[in-house]
Chain A
Amino acid sequence: MKKFTKLSAVSALSLVIGASAAFAENIKIAFIDPLSGPFASTGTNGLHQFEFAADYMVNQKGGVLGGTNFEIVAFDNKISPKESLIQLQVAIDQGIRYIAQGNSSGVANALTEAIEKHNKRNPDSRVLFLNYAAVDPALTNEKCNFWHFRFDANADIKMDALTDVMAKDESMKKVYIIGQDYSFGKAVAAAAVKNLGEKRPDVEIVGNELHPIGKVKDFTPYSRKIVASGADAIITGNWGADMLGLGKSAIENGFDGPIFTYYAAGSGITAAFGESGKGRIRLISQGGINPIATEEARATYEAFEAKYPEGNIDQSRIFNVIGMLSTAIEAAGTADDVVAVAKQLEGMEYDSQWGGKVFMRPQDHQIIQDMNVGVHTDENIDFDYDNSGFGVYTESTVTMASMDSPTTCDMKRP
């Protein structure tokens, strides 16, 4: 038995090592996100979109650098910072130079710091961090670094665009802000207060509070407060089960205004809201799905649906990540020198198939793009989510949102 334990350890560890030898010619992107546990659904959907995008946009078109393919290597971080750092090390050892991650700003924060330290300590095996969904503003402000690129609008930009749309509704007099008790939730609340104060000083913020993240079983008491406050609208940054719980509970318990939010589509949430959320839930996103922005996008979505009938393209920015990365690699003429690739990514302007231009702002590596505010509905929906017949229909667009927003980032380039 003793021997067995040791043998299995040897073989297990050599698996880790051995994997690096195979497929050396592919450009590999490590996808480090939860694939098991409570957040697995979001992670898995993201992985499918990455795999599809790499295959459809790069490999089927002959690859980059004259025939090199993209390969997505999935690592399950179980949404744990510790596991993420272990998997990051494993990925680096496998010779992977591009790390994609999006779920949880906490994990993103751990990764960006670890990557900065790694790149400082190991100039020979530097890696880039492609952040496709972690939206804590700090990542492109005080915590920014040269290796981190954010392809999603940050919480401030999203709120800026959301409040632009909200401000047009003259009948709205009272707003209730509620969010999860962590950095993102706090960032959303702060941005909402600031933006509303600037755009609609007459609007009264009747509530501003945080609830424990992922722990609230029943949102009824919160809904009661919201209803009692006489709010005309709710602003929340909630996601996952917290979004669903809050939204359903508020509607059920007598709240009759709109709910402005960030993440209330796909991953079963659209289906679960169904009829009850129709016309009530308004969310900020980028990329036009309904109506579809371009014919190219329509073809992409149809191909995706053929492959994943139960899947959604709910993070169209993932296609931008792949598109921009392949463009940058082509321009740099190498995939191994990540500094060269990063320099290409900085300041890149890219025409997204999902509509509009996207621009990677060089001073903080924050992407700037058109932001849409859509409504949860079953009317005029070409591409629904969760096969529910419901989807998000774009009502208004803010072009190149927050192009000139300030940043505290002090970018240090190698």
Chain B
Amino acid sequence: MELILVNVIDGLVTGLLLFMLSAGLTLIFSMMGVLNFAHASFYMLGAYFAYQISLALGFWMGLLVAPLIVGVIGAGVERYGLRRVHQYGHVPELIFTFGLALLIEEMVQFVWGKNTMPYSVPEVLNFTAFSIGANSIPAYKIFMIFTSVAIFIGLLFVLNKTRVGMIIQAALSYPRTVEALGHNVPLIFMGVFGVGTALAGVAGVIAGPVLGTFPGMAFVLGSIVFVTIVIGGLGSLWGALVASLMIGWITTFAKSYNVQMSDILNAVGISTPENLGNSVFRDLWTVTSPQIADILPYILMVLILIFRPAGLFGKRES
């Protein structure tokens, strides 16, 4: 019972972190149609910049400044790179972000080398907030939850209560109409790209100390962000939130309990065959939930695409 509660909190942290990445990506993806493969690279940049700044000015300045730098870089990438490629279509755009991801990783290694950076939790937050049984919940996790929730609320406010937000929402559903109405869509694109990457930067800043700041951190995150927004439905912020939390909890619980495939199969009435030793299916029977925890979101995505291509909350197919 205690473990369930602890897992709920852990899954929430994972999910909210994922949400900070997917929120920016879903805005970018649904407005511009760009599968931004470099999104996780901006997350990595956020962590590295924050580390560098924290050396001189402390963690909090890093939290403040690093996302801004990342956002400016993101806007620059949109303005001088993507916009040029945009005219050629979506595949070249995608390749562009693909190449960009490669290049950012190389540049990070060029500047900071290949080792893990000793970027760590600030002293103020380096204590145990409370314990549930023997499990301690670090204060930093609580801080992560509050930061992401604050960002989500801020984002909702901007999108629903401000003029810019209205235009963005309109552009999500009817990009051509918005342009026809005389709004400067390229500027909106640049802004959204900048904000989206800055959000990824924030995620990097706060995730860097717990998940590690190393050149492979973007690669490890991989395509799970796309999976999130596809499951949630393109263009839907709520969808991104629900999908992020869902993935956070599913993977956390799958890892926390050792459920074996044979248990499940036995439960539905299929009995374990006798001579598993040499059978090709041997490995299938002994698969445990932690082994497949990280691919569960992919299975979920494929199923959703087959049966509900628009995603959980999406309105359009592509």
What residues make up the interface of A, taking CB atoms closer than 8 Å to B? 37-38, 40-41, 44, 181, 209-212, 214-218, 220-222, 224-225, 227-228, 230, 241, 244-245, 248-249, 252-254, 267-269, 271-272, 274, 276, 310, 386, 388
| Smallest CB separation, A241 vs chain B (Å) | 6
Q: A38-B214, A228-B134 are in contact. List 11 more A-B contacts (CB 8 A).
A: A40-B114, A41-B114, A221-B255, A221-B256, A224-B10, A224-B256, A225-B256, A227-B135, A249-B210, A253-B137, A253-B138
Q: Choose among B10, B118, B136, B220 the residue that contacts A214 (Cβ–Cβ < 8 A).
A: B220
Q: Which residues of A contact B290 (CB under 8 A)?
A: 209-211, 221-222
Does B14 contact A218, Cβ atoms closer than 8 Å?
yes
Residues of chain A within 8 A (CB-CB) of B2 are 228
Partner of B219, one of A38, A222, A271: A38
Q: B221 at the A/B interface (Cβ < 8 Å)?
A: yes
Q: Is B162 an interface residue (CB 8 A)?
A: no
Query: Quick check: B210 and A248 within 8 Å, CB to CB?
Result: yes
Evaluate contact between B134 and A216: CB separation under 8 angstroms.
no
Taking CB atoms, residues of chain A closer than 8 Å to B117 are 268, 272
Residues of B contacting A253 in the complex (Cβ-Cβ under 8 angstroms):
135-138
Partner of B118, one of A224, A241, A271: A271
Q: Which 7 A-B pairs have CB atoms at the shortest separation, nearest pair first? A: A268-B115, A41-B114, A254-B136, A38-B216, A221-B255, A268-B116, A271-B118
B134 touching A244, Cβ below 8 Å: no
A220 contacts B114, CB within 8 Å?
A: no
Using CB atoms, name the residue of chain A closest to B251.
Answer: A221
Which residues on the B side are within 8 Å of A269 (C-beta)?
A: 116
Residues in A neighbouring B6, C-beta threshold 8 A: 224
Contact with A along B80-121 (1 / 0, CB 8 A): 000000000000000000000000000001000111111010
Q: Which of B199-244 contact A (CB under 8 A)?
A: 210-212, 214-216, 219-221
Q: Decide: B116 and A272 in contact? CB cutoff 8 A.
A: yes
A183 CA to B233 CA, complexed, in Å: 39
B3 within 8 A of A: yes
Interface centre among B109, B115, B120 (most CB of A within 10 A): B115
Q: Could you show 18 A-B contacts with beta carbons less than 8 Å apart?
A: A41-B114, A181-B291, A211-B291, A214-B220, A218-B210, A220-B13, A221-B7, A222-B255, A222-B256, A228-B133, A230-B134, A244-B116, A252-B210, A267-B116, A271-B116, A271-B118, A274-B118, A310-B113
Q: Is B258 an interface residue (CB 8 A)?
A: yes
Report how far A224 CA is from B3 CA in the complex, Å: 7
Q: In whole angstroms, how far apart are the Cα atoms of A260 and B310 in the complex?
A: 48
A215 neighbours in B (Cβ, 8 Å): 220, 294
Query: Does B275 belong to the interface (CB within 8 Å)?
Result: no
What separation, in Å, do the CA atoms of A317 and B195 have in the docked complex? 50
A41 near B211 with CB under 8 A, answer: no
Q: B residues 1-29 with Cβ under 8 Å of A?
A: 2-3, 6-7, 10, 13-14
Q: State whether A241 and B220 are in contact (beta carbons under 8 Å apart), knowing that A212-B294, A221-B10, A224-B10 are contacts in the complex.
A: yes
B256 near A268 with CB under 8 A, answer no
CB-based contact A241/B114 at 8 Å? no
Most chain A beta-carbon neighbours within 10 Å: one of B120, B128, B134, B258: B134
Tell me which residues across on chain B come within 8 A of A44, comparing CB atoms: 114
A265 to chain B, nearest CB (A): 12
- Given A253-B136, A268-B117, A386-B115, verify A221-B252 contact (CB < 8 Å): yes
CA distance A248 to B211 in the complex (A): 9
B-chain residues with CB within 8 Å of residue A222 when the two chains form the complex? 255-256, 290
B220→A272 contact, CB < 8 A: no
Q: Is A38's CB under 8 angstroms from B215's CB?
A: yes
> Does any Cβ of A come within 8 Å of B147's Cβ?
no
Whole-angstrom CA separation of A37 from B108 in the bound complex: 12
A222 CB to closest chain B CB, in angstroms? Answer: 6
Is B288 located at the chain interface by the 8 A CB criterion?
Answer: yes
A248 to B126, CA, bound (A): 13
CB-CB under 8 A for A210 and B133, given A40-B109, A244-B212, A272-B117: no
Q: Indicate whether A388 sits within 8 Å of B135 (C-beta atoms), given known contacts A211-B290, A212-B291, A248-B210.
A: no
Residue of A nearest to B10 (CB): A220
A215 to B291, CA, bound (A): 11
- Is residue B131 within 8 Å, beta carbon to beta carbon, of the partner chain? yes
Contacts of A225 in B (CB 8 A): 3, 255-256, 258
Assess A245 versus B212: contact at CB under 8 Å? Given A215-B220, A267-B116, A386-B115. yes
In the bound complex, CA of A66 to CA of B235 (Å): 73
Provide the bound-state CA to CA distance between A37 and B109, in Å: 9
Distance, CA A209 to CA B131, complexed state (A): 25
Min CB–CB distance B55 → chain A (angstroms): 13
B115 CB to nearest chain A CB (Å): 3
